[in-house]
Amino acid sequence: MLCLDSTLISDDVRDSFFCCDLEQCKGACCVEGDAGAPLEEEEITLIEDYLEFILPFMVSGGKYTVESLGVFDYDAEGNYVTPLVKDRECAFVYYENSIARCAIEKAFQENVIPFPKPISCHLYPIRIKKLSRGDEALNYHKWPICKKALEKGYKEKLPLYRFLDQALIRKYGRSWYNRLLKLIE
């Protein structure tokens, strides 16, 4: 376990190789699971404020779900998550060449909203667990649907923390990330 400021980082984040392979998994992390993607409270406000710009990229089932339930739901522990369409895919999913993709991210890429997808999605397969006193634990979420990403990461010798550099910088800042690199390497 590594410790950096108020974050505890599992050894798996340091030691695992990872590189998403969307051609193989088809974006399964946006479709599989028992709850939607974790959301931070400020992300809910952003999604609500920019929903009219996100909706054009969403599929009809997602639009209906968001119009019926709103832009967030709760998981079994009472945490904020994206709503699901028929208890399966994230309401913000759209499909491109049979690959599940994020309508929020698409709206950002099209320069119609000022923020990318939720940080939990950007950081995946790292999951953040809030600890007492405001500390956070960063854990690698091992899931069979990412087997090909592990193989590709190993083949390319791409450590998980390097694969997720932009997401980690977005969440914790460049200074934090540079100190993480020094701590690891």
At residue 185, the pLDDT reads 85
pLDDT for 62-112, tens place per residue?
999 999 999 999 999 999 999 999 989 999 999 999 999 999 999 999 999
Please name which of 20, 53, 5, 18 lies closest in space to residue 178, comparing C-alpha atoms.
Answer: 5
At residue 34, the pLDDT reads 84
pLDDT for 28-59, tens place per residue?
999 988 899 999 999 999 999 999 999 999 99
At residue 60, the pLDDT reads 96
User: Considering the chain, what is the average pLDDT of its residues?
Assistant: 95
- Do 177 and 169 touch, CB atoms closer than 8 A? yes
Give the count of beta carbons closer than 10 Å to the beta carbon of residue 76.
Answer: 8
At residue 33, the pLDDT reads 83
The share of the chain scoring above pLDDT 70, in percent, equals: 100
Q: What does pTM read for this prediction?
A: 0.91
3-class secondary structure, 87: coil
- The answer, yes or no, to whether residue 146 has pLDDT greater than 90, is yes
At residue 22, the pLDDT reads 92
The share of the chain scoring above pLDDT 90, in percent, equals: 92
Helix (H) or strand (E) holding 139: strand 136-140
At residue 134, the pLDDT reads 83
